[in-house]
Amino acid sequence: MRIISIIVAMFAVMVLSCAIKHYSVGKDFDETLIPRIEKNRTTQEELLAMFGEPYVKSILSEQEQKWLYHYESGSLKSQSFVLITKVKTIASRKKVLKVLLRDGIVVDYSFTKEEMGP
């Protein structure tokens, strides 16, 4: 009888198990420095000093580049049922800074930030 109880308990744990996974993508950057960016004045060297290397650099033409600073972090909760696994985002934070440079000078930029959960 005791063996049956152990087997039932193990089965219940396997069937109704859940886990929380924390993740991050990119490198966090100091968003309080964004107001220091001046169009047609800030250089790529100044950007590097403020934010470090971008997550992605794209060459658009011989004169233009697009730099992307990206950081995202959060927590996922997964629950496992017999044949089904349910994954749910319980918290996330995302920051994206896009910068357009022409001849090494910032000509335009945009910043977005999204937060969800606790």
| Residue 96, CA distances (Å) to 67, 109, 110, 111 in order | 10, 10, 8, 6
pLDDT, position 20: 79
For 45, phi and psi rounded to 5 degrees? -65, -40
pLDDT, position 78: 72
Would you say 68 and 91 are in contact if contact means Cβ atoms under 8 Å apart? no
pLDDT, position 104: 97
Q: What is the pTM of this model?
A: 0.73
Distance between CA atoms of residues 25 and 81, nearest Å: 28
For the chain, 118 residues long, give each residue's pLDDT as a single digit of tens.
Answer: 566 655 555 554 454 456 778 888 999 999 999 999 999 999 999 999 999 999 999 999 999 999 999 999 988 777 665 556 665 667 789 999 999 999 999 999 999 999 887 6
Distance between CA atoms of residues 65 and 68, nearest Å: 10
Classify the phi-psi angles of 30: left when phi > 0, otherwise alpha if psi is within -120 to 50, otherwise beta: beta
pLDDT, position 87: 56
